[in-house]
Structure 1
Amino acid sequence: MSMAQRIQDAWNEQASWLIVLRPLAWLYRFGFCLNQSLYEVGVKKVYHAPIPVMVIGNITVGGSGKTPLLIELVKYLQQQGVRVGVISRGYGGQGPFPAKVEQLSEPSIVGDEPCLIVQSTDVPMAVGPNRQASIELLLQTVGDLDLIISDDGLQHWALGRQIEWIVLDQNRGLGNEKLLPEGYLREPKSRLKSSTVIEHTKVAQPKNNMYLDVGQPYLLNNHLELSWFDANQYFNAVVGIGFPQRFYQTLSKLGVSQYQAHEFPDHYDYEIADLIFDSQDAIITTEKDAVKFKSLLQQHPEFNTPIWVVPVEAVLSSDCYDLLKQQLQQVGIQFS
């Protein structure tokens, strides 16, 4: 197990030994605050796009449900006639950057989450560490857009923004409420007071809330022609997300209780050997991981182990949509 994975596990367990990392957390806080202040006083330049920018991010390391939320918002805005584009860092992608994300883009080039977002919404999207370059690429190649949504980038102070939504996973919480690397906070919890907080809960609740609804699993290697999903069979559960426990909770909702867990780091670059296990049981996985598996299956048509994919969809409270409409109106964006 890598040191990064050990620390990730320690964060999730709130291990007491993390206190030895407190001096590094102090150093992180100093560097973070210094960098932020340099942007605030104008020593470092902030890029302001010619159209409004909305950032959807979190203050924690690891998954919070941000990507399903973004996908739902994009679909909703498209239905309302808002011309929206999306940018992202493109974690896991090798570039070159900036890069447009297309339906057939490879996760190894642009990242797994961008591929999932575009395959789910067909939204114009560009990725790269330089958010300004990504926005300019979109504006040059797509034409008129009303809004840019930045997938993550909450701490990317070089990008000016008009709207910020922070996804807070109540299931995971803030851990020990310590900054990196003693805890998994990217920013102090006081940051939640200055932005819109969307609480990710297990079930529907009022106000600014979302939860994940589990869809019917589908077969990734559909040439096997299996017509139905049996939740009572044994599985190899393959998961490479920031908070794998959420996937296990999803499996429980499906009635899947018999599986061997195989955890990989977030944004892991899979090889076909990673999907070969001692048992011949079917594989069950997330949509984010399936984006990478699809490419592997094309490269290895001889691979015949069934891979079932569990889709999830963010369900937002009505207050979220009301708030979004109000915030967009404040920056001059009207629904059609």
Structure 2
Amino acid sequence: MIFSKSESEAEKPFWSKIQQNKNLGLWSAVLAPFSILYDMGVRIRLSAYRRGLLKRRSLPGFVVSIGNLTTGGTGKTPAVIMLAKWASNEGYRAAVLSRGYGGQYKGDILEVSDGSAIKADPLESGDEPYLLAKKLTGI
């Protein structure tokens, strides 16, 4: 198998250069304080979990979390669909949990699908959980 770079350094998107820690001068200086604040927030949150100030929740089985700081267009939903189908095909009982952004439901837990029937509409659940329920029948 042969690997080659598909784009020159000049053609790479700006965010790619940031991700690869290229010397960006002014941008590094502008973004550094936000990075420090984010790091502090993560450390405080983890410390709160360790001290019992935030409650941990556990599930019967292993959990795979798919997400990142990017809001859309990075392939998270297709990755969830692929992974859930793979797990089901391998004999695992898969379940998909979503925060349901954009949905109007205000309670704690909304079961969008039980694997055989969809129990909530997209307005109530949000577009993504509804799409996942439609694509993952039997899961």
The alignment's TM-score, normalised by the length of structure 2, stands at 0.63
Greater helix share, structure number: 2
Tell me, which stretches of 5 or more residues in structure 2 are unaligned?
A: 1-13, 19-23
Closer, same or farther: CA 21–107 of 1 in aligned 2, 3 Å: farther
The corresponding residue for 2:63 is 53
Closer, same or farther: CA 57–26 of 1 in aligned 2, 3 Å: same
Closer, same or farther: CA 24–76 of 1 in aligned 2, 3 Å: closer
The corresponding residue for 2:40 is 30
The corresponding residue for 1:83 is 93
Aligned ranges 1:1-336 → 2 under 5 Å: 19-58=29-68, 60-62=69-71, 63-97=73-107, 98-102=109-113, 103=118, 105-122=120-137
CA offset at residue 19 of structure 1? Answer: 4.3
Closer, same or farther: CA 54–21 of 1 in aligned 2, 3 Å: closer
The CA deviation string for residues 271-320 of structure 1, in whole angstroms up to 9 with x for no partner, is xxxxxxxxxxxxxxxxxxxxxxxxxxxxxxxxxxxxxxxxxxxxxxxxxx
Q: Segments of 4+ in structure 1 off by > 4 A?
A: 10-19
Closer, same or farther: CA 89–32 of 1 in aligned 2, 3 Å: same
> Residue type of the partner of 2:91?
G
CA offset at residue 96 of structure 1? Answer: 2.5
Does the CA contact (< 8 Å) of 1:85 and 1:123 recur in 2? no
Tell me, which stretches of 5 or more residues in structure 1 are unaligned?
A: 1-9, 125-336
The corresponding residue for 2:4 is none
Which deviates further from its counterpart, 48-57 or 114-123?
48-57
SS class of match (1:116): helix
Higher RCO structure (Cα 8 Å, ≥6 apart): 1
CA offset at residue 81 of structure 1? Answer: 2.9
The CA deviation string for residues 37-60 of structure 1, in whole angstroms up to 9 with x for no partner, is 2213434331122333222233x3
Q: Distance in 1 between matches of 2:124 and 2:31?
A: 34
The corresponding residue for 1:215 is none
CA offset at residue 120 of structure 1? Answer: 0.6
Does the CA contact (< 8 Å) of 1:74 and 1:123 recur in 2? no
SS class of match (1:84): coil
Q: Distance in 2 between matches of 1:55 and 1:48?
A: 13
> Could you say what the CA RMSD is over the residues aligned between the two structures, in angstroms?
2.9
Does the CA contact (< 8 Å) of 2:66 and 2:76 recur in 1? yes
> Residue type of the partner of 2:82?
E
The alignment's TM-score, normalised by the length of structure 1, stands at 0.29
SS class of match (2:43): helix
| % identity of equivalent residues | 37
SS class of match (1:122): coil
The CA deviation string for residues 155-207 of structure 1, in whole angstroms up to 9 with x for no partner, is xxxxxxxxxxxxxxxxxxxxxxxxxxxxxxxxxxxxxxxxxxxxxxxxxxxxx
> Residue type of the partner of 1:87?
L
